């Protein structure tokens, strides 16, 4: 997602611009799609750069790690990046305003969403998962398998 910052780049230090994010069916990675991404972007003209502040949330459709049922996981995110006019950040990471006065915010936003995904994704706090023997969904009630049939006598 490229943002046109020409007006800010040619404007006075301290000027700001506010934008809305409203994306549907957005591909985060090969196996991860956000059903929606909503948020706000604040752009601020600094002396030799443009500061971008992005805050919002993404709704991801993911399988529960216990019961394997797909559910919608809400991921909040905040991204702050500084894009320089024809220069580099001190740490060597290249974040530049393009010669067409555009900044690319898609990759930093995508990275923050991925980093905010919890290691264990559960459809609900008390998810009981699947029976290890017959595969029944234990959230729907007790399974009908005999757990003693797999034990050695």
Q: Binning pLDDT at 50, 70 and 90, where does residue 16 land?
A: very high
| Higher pLDDT, residue 44 or 93 | 44
Dihedral sign (CA 146, 149, 152, 153): positive
Mean pLDDT, rounded, for 136-149: 77
Q: How far, in Å, are 6, 48, 82, 84, 117 from residue 10 at the CA level?
A: 6, 11, 17, 14, 38
CB 59 within 8 A of CB 36: yes
Average pLDDT over the chain reads 86
Here the tokens at position 68 are 């394997």
> Residue 71: is its pLDDT beyond 90?
yes
Q: Binning pLDDT at 50, 70 and 90, where does residue 153 land?
A: very low
Identify which of 117, 111, 120, 145 has the alpha carbon closest to the alpha carbon of residue 131: 145
Here the tokens at position 78 are 């905040």
The tens digit of pLDDT for each residue in 80-116 reads 999 888 755 555 566 788 888 888 888 899 999 999 9
92 in the Ramachandran plot: left (φ > 0), alpha (ψ -120 to 50) or beta? left
Please indicate, yes or no, whether the overall pTM of this predicted structure exceeds 0.85.
no
> Residue 53: is its pLDDT beyond 60?
yes
Q: How far is CA 100 from the centre of its chain?
A: 27
């Amino acid at each position: 997602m490229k943002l046109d910052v020409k007006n800010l780049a040619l404007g006075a230090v301290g000027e700001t611009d506010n934008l809305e994010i409203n994306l549907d069916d957005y591909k985060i990675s090969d196996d991860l799609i956000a059903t929606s991404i909503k948020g706000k972007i604040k752009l601020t003209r600094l002396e030799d750069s443009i500061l971008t502040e992005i805050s919002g949330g993404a709704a991801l459709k993911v399988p529960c790690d216990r019961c394997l049922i797909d559910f919608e996981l809400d991921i909040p995110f905040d991204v702050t990046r500084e894009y320089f006019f024809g220069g580099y950040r001190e740490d060597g990471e290249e974040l530049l305003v393009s010669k067409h006065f555009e900044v690319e915010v898609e990759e930093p936003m995508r990275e923050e969403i991925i980093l905010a995904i919890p290691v264990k994704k559960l459809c609900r706090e008390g998810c009981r998962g699947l029976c290890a023997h017959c595969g029944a969904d234990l959230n729907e009630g007790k399974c009908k398998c005999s757990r003693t049939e797999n034990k050695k006598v």
